[in-house]
Every structure is written in structure tokens, then in C-alpha cells.
Amino acid sequence: MKNLTKLLICFFTIFLMFHGSATSADLNNTFQLNANAAIAVDASSGKILYDQYGSKQGQGIASITKLLTVYMVYKNIAEGKLEWSDKVKPSDYAYNLTQDPAASNIQMVKGESFTVQDLVNACLLPSANSAAITLAEKIGGTEPKFVDQMKQQLKQWGITDEVLINSSGLNNSDLPQAYWYPGTSQDSENTMSAKDVATIAIHLIKDFPDVLNITNKPEIIFDKGGNSETMMENTDYMLPGKAYSFSGVDGLKTGTTALAGTCFVATANQNGFRVITVVLGADESVYGENSRFTETQALMENVYSHWKIQTLVTKGQSIKKYTKINITDGKSKTTNLVADANLSIPVIDNETPGYQFNKVSENLIAPIKKGEQLTKVILLENDRLGYLNGFQEPEFSLVAQKSVQKENSIILFFKHLINKASS
């Protein structure tokens, strides 16, 4: 049945390619993944390109949590509170977790300290839980206090529907009760919507793009030259040379627990078009844990086959129906309006967005300088999927193409006199 469904979807997609343009609603209604929730967004604008229960709350996110943990590390480094070269000694709690064969980890020699850089690498590639806890305790003093900082960061991004109890993504049942977040139970685990996860990912990439120089590596040495030196393999199997490689993929993070199932946040850049995808709870019945990669492949193929980056406005271009504006008391009665910059956005199957112009005062008074911003234009797009929290439709400014000098004061006096007499 599942194969038949995919065949019908494939047929419908090909039909649309040859029989007119598909809308985002068409694709969203006909293309379905075998997962609990999924979303795809443009990494530049935050525009949602695909949404399958993306806003559904209570989705387990497992080790995808570490994207937020790593964001907090980058933020502390940017604020001068931490250095990449700082050495951190894991607590007994963090070290003891490395001895648990059921938890994702790397082997550490007890009593040794590790650089922040090594610990971040360990979080992102093999998804080492002890590394995440060590970083959390370094920044927050305790992991619960660090979690409070994580929650505050989410709140700043408009995310308030999450359940966040630790820095690693493990279920409480996998951890000593003494280290549970206050007020949580044995079954507690980090949960968010796919949309929330995409919001974390886009901020990580936008604010700290260097993270991709870590996530794009198939393997990295941990504690090079130290007693715990080991080669860490990336769990992202969609990187070049891996079993499920996909063109342009250079990150981001896998996650797995009993509640969350197999999850994957991915990002790819094809010809300057970077997409972020989130797949939560992939159906494991056919490909097992690798289903998160096959479902992500299908999602990326769908997005890249229909969405393209299109330059809609070029710098110096005039916009139809709004090519000029009236000027009072100027040597010229009008000035031409032109765009102040290029604007490129993802467009589905060459759909053409409309424009919405902010209201502009009709009493602009000279002088007007060349390049002076006179109004802003907001793009009105045809789809209804919207944007991530904190992002909105792109806009650009219309500026004066030429300067308009103020008219001679004597001439203005007589013009005003005549206007007053005729009124």
C-alpha cells in the first residue's frame, strides 16, 4: 500500500510538471512522507516550503536537542564568556554516562580535560551525550540551570510550546534520578514541533555559519594527541561518500530514542539555494534507522524539483503601477521610484508574486536626495504556508532615482499665492 501511495504521488508530481504549475498547497496535499512530522524551509528567508504536521506539538526530538546546546556554546563564545581552547573536565555524572553502552558516546579517560572545540565536535558528529552534559555544566554551572538558559533562548525566538529537560535529548529513564530536571518524571523527554526544530536550525546556521565546517566532515579526531584520542564518525549518512548521499548536504544532526523514533535535521545548498529539512519519527518498517535518510532524500528531491531561487527585483528597477511619486515645492513635480537592491526568493514552478505597497505620504516636500528611501514594498506570495516564527515576507525599498531641488523661494511665494486665491 505504501509503495502504491508513493507511486501515485510520483505520477501526480510528474503530471504537474508537464501540465501547468503546481502550487505549494498542491504539493503539500499530494506529497506525503512516512514520518510523524516534517517540514522544509528556505534557510535564507525562513519561508516554509513544505509542511506535514509541522506545528504539531509533543514530537520527541532526541539528540537533535544538541543543536540548541551547540548554539548556546557558540553564543557564549561570541559574548567572550568561553573560548574554543578552554579545557573542561567532565563531572563524574558525565563521565559515568560514557560507560553506558546504550547511550551514544565516545570513550574518555577518567580525569582528563577536553577542549570546548573537541566537545562540540563530539556533540555534532557521534552525538556524544557526555560531551553535551559537560558543556552544559561548564556554561550553566549545573545542567538544569543550563536548560533554563536554553528555554530563555527559545522564548526569544517565539518558541513557548516546548518541553525541555536536558542538554542531550536522552529520556529521564536513561539518567540517574538525581540529575533529572526539577518537576519531571521517569518518562519525561525533550519534545518540540518540527517547526520549532527548524527555527533552531535556521538560527544556528544564520548566526554561526561556521558550524557547517564541522557538520560537513565525515569524521574528526577527538582529543588529538591526548589519552582519549579517537576517530569520531559522523552519523549523517547523507554527506558526500556516505550510503545515502545527496547533492549539497553539509549537515546537520541525527537523533534517536524510543519516544522520538529516528529523526534527522538536514541542510543542503544547491546553486546558492540552501534548504533546511526536519523529519521526526520516520517510519522504520522498511529501512530501519536509515528511514530518516530515505525520507529526507524524498523531501529534498521534492523541494528542489519544484522550488527555484528567482530574482524578482533588481537594483535600479522600476515597479509597474508605482513608477513615480509627486513632489511638492520642487523644481520637478515628480521623481521616479526604483528598487534600492536586488531581491531573490524561492518561487514554486515559476509562480509570480504580487506586490503590496506601504502607504506613502502624497505631501513629500522638496528637496529630495537621490537614493532617499521613499517607501517600502512587501512581496505578496501565492502560497499559504507562511514563515517560521520571527520571519516574514521579504520587502525592499523604493528610492528616488534622481534628486529634486527645492524651487526658488520667490517662485514658490507666487505659486502659493495663486493657489490660495484659486481655492
SS (H, E, C) the chain: CHHHHHHHHHHHHHHHHHCCCCCHHHHHHHCCCCEEEEEEEECCCCEEEEEECCCCCCEECHHHHHHHHHHHHHHHHHCCCCCCCCEECCCHHHHHHHCCCCCCCCCCCCCCCEEHHHHHHHHHCCCCHHHHHHHHHHHHCCHHHHHHHHHHHHHHCCCCCCECCCCCCCCHHHCCHHHCCCCCCCCCCCEECHHHHHHHHHHHHHHCHHHHHHHCCCEEEECCCCCCCEEEECCCCCCCCCCCCCCCEEEEEEEEECCCEEEEEEEEEECCEEEEEEEEEECCCCCHHHHHHHHHHHHHHHHHHHEEEEEEECCCCCECCECEEECECECCCEEEEEECCCEEEEEECCCCCEEEECCCCCCCECCECCCCEEEEEEEECCCCCCECCCCCCCEEEEEECCCECECCHHHHHHHHHHHHHHC
CA distances from 177 to 40, 136, 185 (A): 37, 17, 9
Give yes or no: 361 in active site.
no
Give the pLDDT of residue 131: 97
Catalytic residue among 47, 66, 75, 217: 66
What distance in Å separates the CA atoms of residue 22 and residue 15, rounded to the nearest whole number? 10
Catalytic residue among 104, 127, 130, 167: 127
Give the pLDDT of residue 182: 97
Give the pLDDT of residue 27: 67
270: left (phi over 0), alpha (psi -120 to 50) or beta: beta
Spatial contact of 135 and 66, defined as CB atoms under 8 Å apart: no
Other Cβ atoms less than 10 A from the Cβ of 264: the count is 30
- Cell numbers describing residue 365: 516636500
Q: Phi and psi of 361, rounded to 5°?
A: -60, 135
Residues 155-191, buried b or exposed e (16+ Cβ, 10 A)?
eeeebeebbbbbbbbbbbebbeeebbbeeeeeebbbb
Q: List pLDDT tens digits, range 104-157.
A: 788 899 999 999 999 999 999 999 999 999 999 999 999 999 999 999 999 999
Percentage, residues of the chain above pLDDT 90:
69
What distance in Å separates the CA atoms of residue 277 and residue 269, rounded to the nearest whole number? 12
Give yes or no: 331 in active site.
no
Residue of 269, 297, 255 whose CA lies nearest to 124: 255
Q: List pLDDT tens digits, range 184-232.
A: 999 999 999 999 999 999 999 999 999 999 999 999 999 999 999 999 9
The letter for the amino acid at 4 is: L
Residues in the chain: 423
Catalytic residue among 45, 63, 130, 193: 63
CA distances from 211 to 71, 246, 292, 314, 420 (A): 9, 19, 22, 31, 66
pLDDT-flagged residues of the chain (< 50): 1-21
Give the pLDDT of residue 23: 62
Give yes or no: 66 in active site.
yes
Residue of 305, 352, 385, 384 whose CA lies nearest to 18: 305
* Partner residues linked to 373 by β-bridges: 399
Residue of 376, 393, 388, 392 whose CA lies nearest to 154: 388
Q: What is the pTM of this model?
A: 0.88
Spatial contact of 211 and 232, defined as CB atoms under 8 Å apart: no
What distance in Å separates the CA atoms of residue 360 and residue 133, rounded to the nearest whole number? 54
